[in-house]
Structures are given as C-alpha cells and as structure tokens.
C-alpha cells in the first residue's frame, strides 16, 4: 500500500532493511513467548485471572489503543512524505507520532499509579504478569521514541536523509503498536 | 544479508580465511570457553538450572549436603576458568575498538562485564563454597547463603545489561560495519529480557521467580540466541579484518 502510493519508488521492494526485519520478527517471537506463558498461567487459574482482570480500566486501554494507532498513522504519513521529498512535513508527522507515544506513556503511568495505590500490586499473579508485560512494552515505546528522534535527526540534515532509516524506524513503531493491540486484547478484553 | 554466501568471506590466495592469526585463535577460544563454562555451571556447580526458590531451610541444607562435592569441584574449576574471561571479553573489546564510535564504548563494555562478574559469579561462589565447607553451621545461616547465592547469581543479570546497552549503541552507531546492524538489535533483546531478572527478588514461585519460565527460561533462550550470534559475528569480523591492518592503540 505504502509503496503503491510512493511517487519516488518505481520498483517493488520490502520496506526497511534486512536488519530491522530480524529485530521486528524476533521481537514478535519473544513477545509471543510472553503471551503463551500468560495464557498457560491463565488457563491454570481462570477464576483468579478473571476476577483480577475486572480491576483493569478498559476505557484507558481503548484510549491508549486509539492513541497508538493514530500515532502509527502519523508515522506512516511521515514515510510517504519522506519518500516524496517533503522533509519538513515528514518531520512534522514524526513529531505528531512521537507525541502519541508520549501520551501513551503518560496514560500508562497514570493507570499504573491508580492500580498500585488501589492495592493491585504484583503480589497478585495476574497483576505481576500485567506489570511485567506492559512494562516491557513500555520500554519498547521508549526505544521507539529514540528511533523517531534518530529519524528527525536524519530528516533535518540534508546530507543524510536515508529513506531506509525512516522506513526502519516506522516498521519498529508499527510493531510496538501491533504488540499493544495484542496485549490489550489478551489482558483487558479476553473473558 | 547474504550471510552464508561464500563471497562474504575474504580469503587469502591459498583459500584460507583471512584475518590476523592471533585474533582468529581467540575466535576459536571464545566458543570453547563458553562450552566449558556451560558444562561447569550446569553439571557441577548446580546454579543453572537453578534450585527451587520455595524450599524450606531443611531443603537448602539437604541441597548442599547432596551436592557438596560437585559444587566444590565446580566452583574451583570455575574460578580457574574465569581467568580466561579477559580473553573472551577482550576479543569483543578488540572489535569494538575497530568501530568508528571510539574506545569509550569498548571500555564501558569491559567495565560493565567486570562489575557484573562480582555478584554474577564471585559472590555466588563464596556463598555456595561457604555453605558446603561449613556444613556444621546453623541451618538458618545455610538457608541464608542459599538465598543470597541464588539471588545474587540470577538477580544480577541486570548488571550485565549495561554491557549490552553500550555494545548495542556501539554496533548501531558504528560506520565501519565491524558487526552487522542486526546483531545490535539482537543485543537490544538481551537488554530487555535480562532487566526482568529484577523480579527474582519478589517471588518465591511462579513465572517470575528465579526459576520462572518468563523471567529466567525465556531470557536464557534469548541469551543463547545472542551468544550464538556473537560467536558468529566475531568470526565474521575477524576474517573480515585485513591481515596487514595496523595494530590497535
């Protein structure tokens, strides 16, 4: 889809370089391990997990999902703008995308603070997995923000502007988004 | 990413792999060292796979009584083997110094590995050896050594995270292409999975305890992938270095 819209790309190719695909596919595999482990322990304690899950705020989860999806959309727009040579607008899109990432972190921190002060600490098995899985994801969001910062640095410097870097960071950001959608489904929604 | 194509390997006119002979020797020493290390920690010292965190005091005494001989032999051998760690870490330092990022990352790597070795190997060694050489002590103290040793050994995985951070940044920033970028990303996985080791201090059982499936075993799988990749990229970086390149400062 992105390639068809890109005016500067004539040949068909996979976005990003091979290295970032190792990162994204491998990282998805690592998270798949976390999800399987979560499901195994959930199957072993279905009543406890269901009871603990009631304390999660689905509304914040939905808002965070929308925030990250919107953020991914901005980052995808920045790739299109960069391909078209619109570097100033590409930078603006990256800033908007990063703003979504920051908002996600703020909302998630608020959610954690509310849960911890309400006594839902990691002494409960469900919440211990909740804090670790969402915490590892949060670290991924921070790394994604660093990657977007690298993209801004690339785009602002006429001597650099490597499209591969822009595409690779965007791929990573979409992966962070995809992982959150799965986490949201598994931890918040699944009954 | 044509990792396996023959033309990636620079050979001499005789068809032998290129690279400096002494550095090439170390690339063989590296996996051999880790293989011996793996045998010692898994078969002899009994720290990996870790014993259960949820045993009673009597259980910890029974553990040390049952395995005291292999623990003693294992840690003596490990202390000798650790003399080779400067060579394995030095090989990584050597290639990091060939990167465009400057030596500070290489020295940061060595410093972080050295700091990690204190809780990661020496403290657990002291705890286990004390427990096995002083079996007549109060069982509560033996149990305390058991907890301290295992929490130190497993819980210190995060100490090595600093080393992985500097290595990942160096690989990703390097313009000389000493290590491939994908290896930098694989090192980022190491950073994240080992930070989860902090959870060991909180749990006696379950997925996040020091023998937990999420916190330990999944991290061990990622570590194995990382170590295998490191052996591979060290070899590629070594044979990729021109034989006549000047020595490093």
**At residue B124, does pLDDT exceed 70?**
yes
Q: Kindly determine whether residue B203 and residue A139, on different chains, have CB atoms separated by under 8 Å.
A: no
- CA-to-CA distance for B113 and B106, rounded, in angstroms? 11
A159/B contact by beta carbon, under 8 A: no
Q: Is A9 part of a structural domain of the chain?
A: no
A2-57 confidence digits (pLDDT tens): 444 454 555 678 888 899 999 999 999 999 999 999 999 999 999 999 999 999 99
A121 and A127 in contact (C-beta within 8 Å)? Answer: yes
Q: Is A2 part of a structural domain of the chain?
A: no
Q: Which of A30, A129, A136 sits opposite B207 (nearest CB)?
A: A129
CA-based nearest residue to B172, from B105, B94, B93 = B105
Look at residue B176 and give its three-state secondary structure: coil
A117-146 confidence digits (pLDDT tens): 999 998 999 999 999 999 999 999 999 999
pLDDT, position A3: 45
pLDDT, position B155: 86
Minimum mean pLDDT among A109-118, A172-181, B4-13: which range? B4-13
Q: Kindly determine whether residue B208 and residue A128, on different chains, have CB atoms separated by under 8 Å.
A: yes
pLDDT, position B244: 79
B218/A contact by beta carbon, under 8 A: yes
Q: What mean pLDDT comes out for the span B19-26?
A: 90
pLDDT, position A185: 96
Number of domains in chain A: 1
pLDDT, position B157: 83
Tell me which chain B residue has its CA closest to the CA of residue A26: B186
Q: Kindly determine whether residue A23 and residue B213, on different chains, have CB atoms separated by under 8 Å.
A: no
A43 and A125 in contact (C-beta within 8 Å)? Answer: no
| Banded pLDDT at A179 (limits 50, 70, 90) | very high
Q: What mean pLDDT comes out for the span B46-65?
A: 95
**At residue A74, does pLDDT exceed 50?**
yes
Q: What mean pLDDT comes out for the span B149-177?
A: 92
Q: Which of A18, A19, A136 sits opposite B192 (nearest CB)?
A: A136
Q: Is A139 part of a structural domain of the chain?
A: yes
Longest CA–CA separation in chain B, Å = 68
Q: What are phi and psi of B11, to 5 degrees?
A: -120, 160
Domain range for A59: 15-189
For residue B19, what is the DSSP state? Answer: S
Asked if the peptide bond before residue B177 counts as cis, ω within 30 degrees of 0, the response is no
Given the cut 0.85, state whether the ipTM is greater than it.
yes
Residue A189: how many other CB atoms lie within 10 Å: 12
How do the domains of chain B map onto residue ranges? 16-240
Q: Is A4 part of a structural domain of the chain?
A: no
Q: Is A182 part of a structural domain of the chain?
A: yes
Task: Give the domain CATH number at A35.
Answer: 1.20.120.80
pLDDT, position A163: 92
Contacts of B201 in chain A (CB under 8 A): none
Token pair belonging to A117: 């002060």
Q: Is A1 part of a structural domain of the chain?
A: no
Q: Is A120 part of a structural domain of the chain?
A: yes
Q: Kindly determine whether residue A143 and residue B185, on different chains, have CB atoms separated by under 8 Å.
A: no
Residues 6+ apart with CB under 8 A from B15: none
Contacts of B202 in chain A (CB under 8 A): 122, 128
B99 and B105 in contact (C-beta within 8 Å)? Answer: yes
Q: What are phi and psi of A23, to 5 degrees?
A: -60, -50
Percent of chain B with pLDDT over 70: 93
Percent of chain A with pLDDT over 90: 87
- CA-to-CA distance for B226 and B163, rounded, in angstroms? 13
B92 and B108 in contact (C-beta within 8 Å)? Answer: no
B248 and B94 in contact (C-beta within 8 Å)? Answer: yes
pLDDT, position B182: 96
B8, β-bridge pairs: none
Q: Is A49 part of a structural domain of the chain?
A: yes
Q: Kindly determine whether residue B1 and residue A37, on different chains, have CB atoms separated by under 8 Å.
A: no
Q: Which of residues 136-195 of B touch A (CB under 8 A)?
A: 180-182, 184-186, 188-189, 192-193, 195
Give the angle subtended at the CA of B159 by the CAs of B174 and B59, to the nearest 5°: 145
B216-248 confidence digits (pLDDT tens): 999 999 999 999 999 999 999 998 888 878 888
Averaged pLDDT score across all residues of chain B: 91
pLDDT, position A4: 44
B17, β-bridge pairs: B11
B200 CA: distance to closest CA in chain A (Å): 12
Alpha helices in A84-189 (DSSP H): 87-117, 125-156, 163-183
pLDDT, position A37: 97
A93 CA: distance to closest CA in chain B (Å): 24
Predicted TM-score (pTM) of the model is 0.90
pLDDT, position A114: 96
B112 CA: distance to closest CA in chain A (Å): 21
B85-121 confidence digits (pLDDT tens): 999 999 999 999 999 998 999 999 999 999 999 999 9
**At residue B202, does pLDDT exceed 60?**
yes
């Amino acid at each position: 889809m992105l390639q068809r819209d890109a005016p500067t790309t004539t040949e068909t190719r996979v976005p990003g370089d091979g290295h970032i695909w190792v990162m994204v596919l491998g990282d998805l595999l690592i998270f798949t391990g976390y999800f399987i482990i979560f499901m195994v322990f959930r199957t072993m304690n279905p009543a406890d997990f269901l009871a603990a899950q009631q304390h999660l705020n689905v509304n914040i989860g939905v808002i965070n999902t929308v925030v990250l999806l919107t953020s991914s959309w901005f980052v995808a727009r920045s790739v299109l703008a960069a391909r078209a040579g619109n570097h100033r607008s590409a930078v603006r899109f990256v800033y908007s995308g990063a703003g979504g990432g920051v908002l996600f972190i703020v909302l998630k921190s608020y959610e954690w603070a509310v849960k911890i002060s309400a006594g839902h600490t990691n002494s409960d098995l469900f919440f211990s997995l909740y804090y670790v899985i969402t915490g590892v994801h949060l670290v991924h969001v921070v790394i994604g923000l660093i990657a977007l910062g690298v993209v801004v640095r690339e785009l602002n410097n006429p001597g650099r502007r490597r499209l591969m870097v822009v595409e690779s960071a965007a791929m990573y950001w979409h992966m962070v988004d995809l992982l959150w959608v799965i986490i949201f489904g598994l931890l918040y929604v699944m009954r | 990413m044509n990792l396996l194509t023959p033309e990636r390997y620079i050979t001499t006119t005789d068809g032998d792999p290129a690279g400096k002979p002494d550095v090439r020797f170390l690339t063989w020493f590296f996996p051999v060292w880790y293989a011996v290390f793996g045998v010692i920690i898994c078969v002899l010292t009994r720290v990996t796979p870790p014993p259960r965190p949820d045993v009673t005091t009597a259980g910890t005494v029974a553990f040390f009584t049952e395995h005291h001989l292999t623990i003693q032999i294992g840690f003596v051998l490990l202390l000798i083997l650790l003399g080779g760690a400067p060579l394995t870490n030095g090989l990584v330092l050597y290639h990091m110094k060939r990167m465009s990022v400057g030596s500070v990352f290489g020295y940061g790597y060595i410093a972080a590995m050295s700091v990690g070795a204190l809780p990661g190997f020496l403290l657990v060694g002291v705890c286990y050896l004390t427990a096995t050489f002083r079996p007549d002590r109060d069982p509560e103290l033996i149990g305390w050594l058991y907890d301290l040793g295992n929490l130190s050994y497993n819980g210190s995985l995060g100490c090595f995270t600093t080393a992985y951070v500097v290595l990942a940044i160096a690989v990703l920033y390097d313009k000389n292409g000493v290590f491939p970028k994908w290896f930098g990303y694989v090192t980022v996985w190491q950073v994240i999975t080992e930070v989860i080791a902090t959870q060991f201090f909180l749990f006696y059982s379950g997925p996040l305890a020091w023998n937990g499936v999420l916190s330990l075993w999944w991290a061990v799988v990622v570590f194995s992938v990382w170590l295998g990749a490191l052996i591979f990229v060290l070899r590629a970086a070594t044979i990729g270095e021109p034989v006549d390149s000047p020595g490093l400062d």
